[in-house]
Structure 1
Amino acid sequence: MADDEHILEAIGRCRVVIRNGTVVEVGDARIASCPLAQKMAYPVSVLDKASVKANIENRIRTWGMCTPRRQVTDARPFVGFGASEILSFGLSAGILDAVVLASDGAGTLVATNPVLVQGIGGRMSGLVKTVPYPEVIRRIEENGGIVPDKTGASLDQAAGVAEACHRGFTRIAVTVALPKEAKKIREQYPDVLIFAVHTTGLSGSEAEMLVSSADIVTACASGPVREIAGKKALLQAGVSVPVFAMTKNGKDLIVEKIRQSDAPVLFKTTRLPALNEQQPEPLV
């Protein structure tokens, strides 16, 4: 296919272009290292072009990212408080009844199955552009997903929320990376739970807009998010790459996930943000 092109903003927000299942372009990362990148299935210690390319090629080879072979379900958690882990838990616990997210090979979709949310979101980098694969869309639909744009695989989270509402879902969560889109969704759908993702490189004003619109914000390698969200958050999960709950709904979801987990947990009342020395370098 001549138009078989996918664009990602991968580890460290470096631009990656994939055509016909082959990595053809890798840009410079905004950061040099990240604690989470070192814990990936294919670890990356130093964020240079060769390491990022090898990581993306591993994802293509092992589970078909950006190809018609794309696997869409998984029950394994990759990190303790990742967006897919928290949102898939929300579905399994009955707190949510639909999650709007984005997938290569399908674009924006509505998921009702926890393993679909984890299978897609747990392995996904920031998706900028994708193309539709009928095989991937079929597997998504077989696992309870709804793909609004089967011909264009468009990335439109607000349209995904509208589709979820049209289908009768009422307890909806959505992942959002663009501050203006988060603001738009909050204004149009005040009861939707907004999970802000892919925040590395946001300006102070962009971080302020995203934080003021979202229920939960992942800090990624963002200095402004740590500063702005940290001071206003009701809860912080994690210390190296923290996730901040900005609203009671966001806090309740994370607390319930912790309550139902068998993992040992430390609770401590403290001033936020609470960070350790293992932060992404540099924060941008």
Structure 2
Amino acid sequence: MTSQEKDEHILEAIGRSRIIIRNGAIVEIGESKITECPLAKRFAYPVPKITQEAVKANIEHRMKAFGMCTTRRDVIDTREFVGFGATELLGFASHVGLIDAAVLACDGAGTVIAKKPALIQGVGGRMSGLVSTSPIKEVIQRIEENGGIVVDKIHAALDQFSGVKRAYEEGFKKVAVTVARPEVAVRIRKEYPDAIIFGVHVTGLTEDEAESMVAVADLMTACASKTVRQIAGKKALLQAGVSVPIFAITNLGKEIIIEKIRQTNEQVLIKPTQLPALGEKQPDPLV
């Protein structure tokens, strides 16, 4: 299959707005579940208020800036966009040897196994909420040239369980994976108890779904989720950030964040307190 035969990419980004991109053009922008997000205000192309027009402008900027959902897709990056974002933490963990592979989602390639920190960051640093994608041969080739493995080059399927399975088959010993669906996280934990699970794209999780994800995850982003703040916050050993927190739920997750703090030159406040500790500026509304 060539990139011209089918070229459709569906995202849920910026407050879980549903975005459809076909043949290099945005063809649909859905309504967001939230109206304001502190993180969105700090994007490279900021979104002060989450409207369909603002979301469209942000996505168009991503497509122009690094080729998201196009043949021009950059897959290598060393810049940190969020200090404690998922790929920033996993890229760092790879750099210091806490993991040796990360299973990620990439537009134009589907599930990808990356071992280089710059590939981890390049694939995931500005990508969020990928629901489905179709193969783009140029993107797949670029990933492979940089040492990555594309799990399904024919269909670009998003299958994190198969990605973890393939990573262990390839001989990786310390495998991390970003997971959006609680049932997939539960399945991965059952079959691969040593995997490091990072819960992402959790806005809108029900209480039961949040409970399921928290029970098996090592790290979780809070996104705009009310249930994750309540459930993960109470169980977390460590929290990074207060507006859109990252929760370390296990000692291994805690170790990754602590080690990143140890090696940074930035000023950091460390304070024992009851979690979750939330600032005044939260996504609005929490859902």
TM over 0.5: yes
Could you say which residue in structure 2 is the equivalent of 1:32? Answer: 35
Give, in whole Å, the separation in 2 of the partners of 1:19 and 1:42. Answer: 22
Could you say which residue in structure 1 is the equivalent of 2:184? Answer: 181
Following TM superposition, by how much is the alpha carbon of 1:2 offset from its aligned partner in structure 2, in angstroms? 5.1
Task: Describe the SS at the equivalent of 1:61.
Answer: helix
Give, in whole Å, the separation in 1 of the partners of 2:70 and 2:238. Answer: 38
Give, in whole Å, the separation in 1 of the partners of 2:145 and 2:60. Answer: 27
Could you say which residue in structure 2 is the equivalent of 1:129? Answer: 132
Task: Describe the SS at the equivalent of 1:12.
Answer: coil
Could you say which residue in structure 2 is the equivalent of 1:147? Answer: 150
Could you say which residue in structure 2 is the equivalent of 1:255? Answer: 258
Give, in whole Å, the separation in 2 of the partners of 1:216 and 1:101. Answer: 15
Out of 55, 65, 70, the residue aligned to residue 52 of structure 1 is 55
Give, in whole Å, the separation in 2 of the partners of 1:265 and 1:144. Answer: 34
* 1:86 and 2:89 correspond: yes
After superposition, give the CA deviation of every residue in 1:51-95 in whole Å (9 maximum; x if it has no partner): 000100111111110011100010000011000000000000011
Task: Describe the SS at the equivalent of 2:103.
Answer: strand
Following TM superposition, by how much is the alpha carbon of 1:105 offset from its aligned partner in structure 2, in angstroms? 0.5
Task: Describe the SS at the equivalent of 1:138.
Answer: helix
Task: Describe the SS at the equivalent of 2:70.
Answer: coil
* 1:107 and 2:110 correspond: yes
Out of 3, 12, 32, the residue aligned to residue 15 of structure 2 is 12
Give, in whole Å, the separation in 1 of the partners of 2:260 and 2:148. Answer: 23
Out of 234, 238, 246, the residue aligned to residue 237 of structure 2 is 234
Give, in whole Å, the separation in 2 of the partners of 1:158 and 1:2. Answer: 27
RMSD in angstroms over aligned alpha carbons?
A: 0.6
Give, in whole Å, the separation in 2 of the partners of 1:270 and 1:214. Answer: 22
Question: 1:245 corresponds to which letter in structure 2?
Answer: A
Out of 196, 199, 203, the residue aligned to residue 196 of structure 1 is 199
Task: Describe the SS at the equivalent of 1:15.
Answer: strand
Following TM superposition, by how much is the alpha carbon of 1:3 offset from its aligned partner in structure 2, in angstroms? 2.3
Question: 2:220 corresponds to which letter in structure 1?
Answer: V
Could you say which residue in structure 1 is the equivalent of 2:270? Answer: 267
Could you say which residue in structure 2 is the equivalent of 1:246? Answer: 249
After superposition, give the CA deviation of every residue in 1:162-218 in whole Å (9 maximum; x if it has no partner): 000000001010000000000000000000000000011111111111111100010
The runs of 4+ residues in structure 1 deviating greater than 2 Å are: none
Out of 204, 214, 217, the residue aligned to residue 214 of structure 1 is 217
Give, in whole Å, the separation in 1 of the partners of 2:273 and 2:113. Answer: 37
Give, in whole Å, the separation in 1 of the partners of 2:83 and 2:128. Answer: 17
* Gaps in structure 2 of 5+ consecutive residues: none
After superposition, give the CA deviation of every residue in 1:105-132 in whole Å (9 maximum; x if it has no partner): 1000100000001011111020111011
Give, in whole Å, the separation in 2 of the partners of 1:59 and 1:271. Answer: 38
Give, in whole Å, the separation in 1 of the partners of 2:208 and 2:119. Answer: 34
What TM-score results when the alignment is normalised by the length of structure 2? 0.98
